[in-house]
């Protein structure tokens, strides 16, 4: 796994945390919850893409020519 992917996921989590705190302080808990769920979904899509690439590479290693 490349370090830039980890930094991207951590940065996205930090941004979502800040947005949720701002929305909660503004009294918009419902929108804060939706922002959190959207952030989780985006990060999960990133992780699924990484897992698909990993499984593809493993499959390439074990394929016999």
pTM equals 0.77
Contact between 50 and 1 under an 8 Å Cβ cutoff? The reply is yes
pLDDT at 1: 61
Among residues 27, 26, 23, 51, the alpha carbon closest in space to that of 37 is found at 23
| pLDDT value, residue 3 | 84
Angle, alpha carbons 15-16-19 (nearest 5°): 85
Mean pLDDT of 47-52: 92
Structural domain spans, the chain: 3-56
- Average confidence score pLDDT of the chain: 91
Predicted confidence (pLDDT) at residue 50 exceeds the cutoff of 70: yes
Mean local confidence (pLDDT), 23-34: 94
DSSP reduced 3-state for 63: coil
């Amino acid at each position: 796994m490349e370090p830039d992917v980890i930094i991207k996921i951590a940065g996205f989590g930090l941004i979502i945390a800040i947005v949720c705190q701002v929305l909660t302080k503004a009294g918009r808990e419902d929108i804060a919850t939706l922002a959190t769920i959207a952030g989780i979904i985006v990060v999960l899509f990133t992780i699924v893409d990484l897992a698909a690439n990993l499984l593809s590479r493993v499959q390439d290693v074990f394929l016999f020519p």
